[in-house]
Amino acid sequence: MIAGNESCTAGPIPVSYLTCLSYILGQWTGVEHIEDYLSYVIYLLWVFLPLAVVILFPAGTVALFYISILVLHIYKRKNELREAYSHDFWDGGRQMLATLWDVHGRIWHGYELHGTENLPDGPGLIVFYHGATPADYVYFMARLLIEKKRYCHTVADHFVFRLPGFKILIEAHGFMHGPKEECVRALKNGSLLAIAPGGVREALFSDEMYTIIWGNRKGFAQVAIDAKVPIIPMFTQNVREGIRTLGGIKIFRSLYECVRLPVVPMYGTFPVKFRTFLGEPIPYDPNVTAEELTAKTKAALQALIEKHQKLPGNIFRALMERFQTQKKDD
């Protein structure tokens, strides 16, 4: 190896690293004119780099979910013969995942959480805008558990319960299908509960204008009324700039309505700035109907979007916000 390096650098004319590498590989493999092949490989890497960025990065987020599942399996196997904690077997596992996801959020998105003082000491229903993926919500859960030692139950779409390997993740984090009675029971037991009324449709078919897509859904409002708890609106700045979808193409919308699965292609996982904001709680009022409470909640969420999100969303601007300091009055 030393002799090869000396032959590359010898002489009055400097030799490029590519030429040096070509010489070494040529001597090793016996292939003539190997530098032509290397040049072609480098050209292909340059051409396909944008494609790799938009396809492989979203796959990285999925991989992180399955790493989380692997961590839980290891934790379960290690602790299946004894209690990890006195009251909840999964406490230790949730703490481990919270650390994993919080580190990821800090590094990749410079994640920040604002407005935790708006959370009630007791139960409450968190209503949030759904980005293309729930990565921002996972960061929120992790930061809430680490900083406030509070755990938040989650209402998830039905397809999540059919994802291969997700059973242990669902068990550890107490995800719910969302029957009204189950949600009310969790709130009456003193828990925080989070739901995105827009669900998969909002995730896939909203856009850089951050349009709230709830349709006629008002079940969450009835849950809050029945449980007599406040509603806390929540929004994450730049969540749609992190990952974009091709939901604007009509054929994907039609396909989704047929199969009810998230078949819309995504691209991105850009390292844009994420800031999650918790708005002022909407208190329980026995004289307010579900329709009225839905309208109040939607207006409160829209106000958070207008206050904290520059519209239309822009990926480059969101990247530059990594280097900006958040104003104190926000």
Q: What is the pLDDT along the chain (330 residues), one digit of tens a residue?
A: 444 444 454 444 444 555 666 666 666 666 566 666 566 666 565 555 555 544 455 566 667 777 777 777 776 666 654 554 445 677 888 888 898 899 899 999 999 999 999 999 999 999 999 999 999 999 999 999 999 999 999 999 888 888 888 888 888 888 888 789 999 999 999 999 999 999 999 999 999 999 999 999 999 999 999 999 999 999 999 999 999 999 999 898 999 989 888 888 888 889 999 999 999 999 999 999 999 999 999 999 999 999 999 999 999 999 999 988 765 555
Query: Distance between CA atoms of 231 and 61, rounded to whole angstroms?
Result: 29
Query: Distance between CA atoms of 201 and 312, rounded to whole angstroms?
Result: 19
| Catalytic residue annotation | 130
CA distances from 254 to 172, 260, 266 (A): 34, 10, 17
What domains lie within the chain, and their CATH numbers?
A: 84-323 (3.40.1130)
The pLDDT value recorded for residue 9 is 46
The pLDDT value recorded for residue 179 is 85
Dihedral sign for Cα atoms in the order 222, 223, 224, 228: positive
The pLDDT value recorded for residue 268 is 85
Alpha helices in 80-151 (DSSP H): 91-109, 135-148
CB atoms inside a 10 Å sphere around CB 44: 10
Q: 124 in helix, strand or coil?
A: strand
The pLDDT value recorded for residue 315 is 94
The pLDDT value recorded for residue 324 is 81
pTM over 0.85, yes/no: no
The pLDDT value recorded for residue 81 is 45
Q: What are phi and psi of 79, to 5 degrees?
A: -115, 10
* Residue (of 123, 126, 94) closest to 113 by Cα position: 126
Query: Distance between CA atoms of 223 and 233, rounded to whole angstroms?
Result: 15
